[in-house]
A and B are shown apart, each in its own frame.
Chain A
Amino acid sequence: MQKKIEPFLYLAPALLVFILIFGYPLARLAVMSLQRPSQGQQTFVGLTNYKSIFSDSVFLTAVKNNAMLLICVPIMVVIALILAVFLFERIRGWQFYRTTLFLPYLLPITVVGLVFSYIFQLSGVLNEFLALIGLERLGLDWLGSPRYALYTLMFVVIWKEVGFGVVLFLARLMSVEEELFDAAKIDGANWWQLQWYITVPQLATVIEFFTVVSVITMLSWVFNYVYVMTAGGPGNSTMVTELYIYLTGFRYNQMNIASAVAVLLLLVTGVLIFLELRLRERSELMQVVG
């Protein structure tokens, strides 16, 4: 009997935290998204909240911008892949480079975002540099113009997140057996063939992992960048779903609308994770609890 209870004694604190921090709030979230306050009482209104967000142009802009951010993902994969391969070829100082390339990933987005907003100011260091090399015509109000602000933001996101990919790919490459590369070289494979037939297939699972993680990042972990650098502006041109939830919930006090958006975001993330887990199970990359 004691044997049967024992595991749950060890699990109890964790389960208690999960119920308080995930279980109960998630249930509340689902209920709130179906309610609206009327005369100080929450009343059930079905899918009204969901319908109303889809007629809100700000929400639609936010979704469109999140979709735009997804463009970062293939760019990040390619850059990380190139850098990881170069480092793997043990170019001079590769360990130093690995350290520095990973650094942006660890810095607080809040700090980095603020520094970048000074760099990208109209009178900032970037435009001064462009003027210095005679390209002052390229000088833009990088974060202040509705046309370019989102692209500037994308640059910063890539700048910060790409180091994770480099380190991830490099770690995987180092665990590939050297013979595989040697054999291909003996068979006379040139550099491109080596990458295409050995490196990329060997990295397939981590590339897939990094892609999924990055997609989730673009859809639901960019709040800090936007909040610090543009606050959604100018004129909602950098509004994203997360900021929309934050603003409707905490600035405009429409918790029910915010809940509906949160439920949708959770569903999208959930589907992605489900697909990733299925892929992983298939590839047997993850062999945790047997």
Chain B
Amino acid sequence: MNRRDLFLRWIGVIIRQGSVFLATLLSLFPVYFMTVSAFKTRAEYIADKWGPPNSLYWANFTTAVAGEKFFIRFANSAILTVGSVAVSLIVACLAAYAFARMEFPGKRTLFNLILSLMVVPPVVMVVPLFVSMVRWGLVNSYTGTTLIYIGLLLPFSIYMMTNFFRTIPWEIIEAARIDGCSSFGVLWRIMMPLSAPALITLIVVNALWVWNELLIALVFMQKDELKTLMVGIAALRSRNYVDIPATMAGLLIATIPILVVYMFGQRYFIRGLTGGAVK
């Protein structure tokens, strides 16, 4: 290899590493900024916004948790997330079983119809849903809001579970049927256990979605004691007094569940979110 090639190769490495490194720096900066600010006193934050804190100032977390009914909001988000993820998972598995393993008239049409619901923007649904929920007396209730989340989670969940169920070999099912397993037994004892990786992926992706959701929570959980964490956070923007370090501490607490889940379940995230497109 002559010197010119060697030189070009080095330039190539530098450009690659440089641009990827820069992109990573940009990706991480807000999280870094949030974390270091959460441990600074207010005076420290004003004096130095960039650097790490001089010492860990934990009082911000106490302030964040004490104000804004933090625990109630946290609990509300958790209730909605657990409820809607659990119910939608069961409903989706039942439906996916029919789509993957049974024949019935109109199957393809129905499936495509459900797929198309995947992209209906929530904002389109919010007005008529509100009118309907008022009529059904379900505004400002966990039931009503959970029901809406279930509806919005179902299309993707059904799509994903149908795809996965179809990969389970017929022979296993046939064998179970011959051994006297009922149709529901096949789903419960064979399909579900074999689908554990897909189920975990779905739980992780759906939980993230509900946890992060703002619009539905804003409209359907208006009572102060029902507000979710994200609604509470969004309201901080319009505050006149701003204790930025304490706010950052609150934001950090709200983000930590996601960071933890991401660290342990990274491959499930990536599989779940790209699974629809890359086959």
Question: A: which residues have CB within 8 A of B?
Answer: 4, 6-8, 10-11, 13-15, 17-18, 20-22, 24-26, 28-29, 32, 79, 82-83, 86-87, 89, 91-92, 94, 97-112, 114-119, 124-125, 128-129, 159, 163-164, 167-168, 171-172, 175, 191, 205-206, 209-210, 216, 220-221, 223-224, 227-229, 231, 241-242, 245-246, 249-250, 255, 258-259, 262-263, 265-266, 269-270, 273, 277, 285-289
Contacts and interface: CB of A to CB of B under 8 A. Distances in A.
Given A21-B129, A110-B233, A124-B49, 11 more contacts: A86-B19, A106-B262, A107-B255, A115-B34, A129-B50, A167-B273, A228-B234, A258-B127, A266-B121, A288-B111, A289-B99
A142 to B, nearest CB: 14
B230 interface: yes
Contacts of B100: 289
A114 B26 CA distance: 16
B247 interface: yes
A10 B125 contact: no
Contacts of B258: 106-108
B94 A13 contact: yes
B49 A224 contact: no
Contacts of A104: 27, 30
B116 interface: yes
A167 B151 contact: no
B124 A114 contact: no
Nearest to A108: B212
Listed from nearest, the 8 A-B pairs whose CB atoms lie closest are A21-B151, A220-B121, A25-B128, A14-B95, A108-B212, A10-B98, A29-B128, A7-B104
* Overall SS of chain B's interface: helix
A128 B254 contact: no
Interface in B201-248: 208, 211-212, 214-215, 218-219, 230, 233-234, 236-238, 244, 247-248
Contact of B132 (A28, A79, A129): A28
A238 B238 CA distance: 17
5 contacts: A21-B129, A24-B132, A191-B12, A246-B219, A249-B126
B128 A26 contact: yes
Contact of A18 (B27, B114, B233): B114
Interface of B: 12-13, 16-17, 19-20, 23-24, 26-31, 33-34, 37, 49-50, 90-92, 94-95, 97-100, 102-104, 107-108, 110-112, 114-117, 119-121, 123-132, 147-148, 150-152, 154, 158-159, 162-163, 166, 183, 208, 211-212, 214-215, 218-219, 230, 233-234, 236-238, 244, 247-248, 251, 254-255, 258, 262, 266, 269-270, 273-274, 277-279
A106 B259 CA distance: 9
Contacts of B90: 13
B127 A91 contact: no
A231 to B, nearest CB: 8
B59 to A, nearest CB: 19
A103 B28 contact: yes
Given A106-B269, A114-B236, A220-B124, A285 B279 contact: yes
Nearest to B254: A111
Contacts of A227: 214-215, 218, 234
A265 B123 contact: yes
A262 B30 contact: no
Given A29-B127, A99-B266, A209-B277, A250 B91 contact: no
A288 B162 contact: yes
B117 A18 contact: yes
A118 B37 CA distance: 11
A5 to B, nearest CB: 9
A224 B215 contact: yes
A24 B128 CA distance: 9
A289 B98 contact: no
Contacts of B159: 288
A246 B123 CA distance: 8
Given A103-B27, A224-B215, A108 B254 contact: yes
Contacts of A224: 214-215
B276 to A, nearest CB: 8
Contacts of B114: 14, 18
B24 A22 contact: no
A168 B119 contact: no
B128 A87 contact: no
A91 to B, nearest CB: 5
Nearest to B114: A18
Contact of A100 (B24, B91, B111, B273): B24
B120 A266 contact: yes
Given A32-B131, A101-B24, A168-B277, A107 B158 contact: no
Nearest to A254: B127
A249 B126 CA distance: 9
A203 to B, nearest CB: 10
A17 B111 CA distance: 15
Nearest to A103: B27
Contacts of A228: 214, 233-234, 237
B91 A17 contact: yes
Contacts of A266: 120-121, 124
Contact of A119 (B24, B30, B108): B30
